[in-house]
Amino acid sequence: MASFITTMSVPAPPTPAHSSTTLGESPTRSPSLSLSPSFYQTTRTSHVPALEPPSYLSPAVRALKQGCFGLTPPSNARTRAPFKPRSAAKGTSSYQLRQFAEATLGSGSLRKAVKLPEGEDLNEWLAVNVVDFYNQINLLYGSITEFCSPQTCPEMKATDEFEYLWQDSENYKRPTKMSAPEYIEHLMTWVQGNIDNEQMFPSRIGVPFPKTFPSLLRQIFKRLYRVYAHIYCHHYPVVVHLGLEPHLNTSFKHYVLFIDEHKLASGKDYWGPLGDLVDSMLRSD
């Protein structure tokens, strides 16, 4: 089967009135996704836009095209609320780790960028990076929200056999079915709430991370993955049309390599609908 990502035709320029395009795959099979290694050469610090993006594009799309796809994107086009990256004052361990991450990402080596810097605390490195992935995914999803509505995406799905139900400890104590945008809104709010919780994500030097941090971190990474899966399976043609596929592919490969490096995946079925794409990314690195 030919690669979906490299061969699927892109429809005429979509408008907000159009519904999002889903994969034309059998509901009993996951799509076979593979990418050329050349897709992953775009890094956030080396991207230089040739022209000012058109004014009709959404703020998130303009930010991506202007090369603002960095570790701390400027705004959340979905809610218009500012991003709240993990605070890190100069001289602190978090600040130094963020500087290291920016430098290694700029070097073009994603495999190098995900490795724990020598002599640094693992939990602090994981915390800094989970916030960065949260920001990346928030900005990527913000670029296609006008094509992801309760009408076009009434369920939070990847492929048909992978539907995600929302559950938390406060308002949804049982798994609850909801539309994709509603699910993602709850997810981002939940992640932000944990990041802002000093007991779970301590930002002061010398304050240890709680014993529950590793399990919480794994849950955050697992849930963030579902946004990537939804975008790839339901909105990839729009991403291609907007010219944002290098950003999406680079961000996802960075995520995949980070999960692989730090053994954060839980079981062989962790990648589900994007398993073939993940295998391709790991082989090409």
Known binder of ligand: residue 235? Answer: yes
Distance CA 74, CA 61 (A): 12
Give CA–CA dist 245/127, Å, rounded.
26
Sole residue written with tokens 């529950």: 212
CB 75 within 8 A of CB 85: no
The response to whether 234 counts as a known ligand-binding position is no
User: Nearest 5°: phi and psi at 87?
Assistant: -65, 140
Among candidates 178, 266, 179, which has minimal Cα distance to 217? 266
Q: Which of 9, 8, 10 is nearest to 34 (CA)?
A: 8
262 annotated ligand-binding residue: no
**CA distance linking residue 285 with residue 282, whole number of Å:** 5
One-letter amino acid for residue 76 of the chain: N
**β-bridge mates for residue 163, sequence order:** 157
Is 68 among the annotated ligand-binding positions?
no
- The binding site for Zn(2+) consists of 148, 153, 230, 235
- The binding site consists of 148, 153, 230, 235
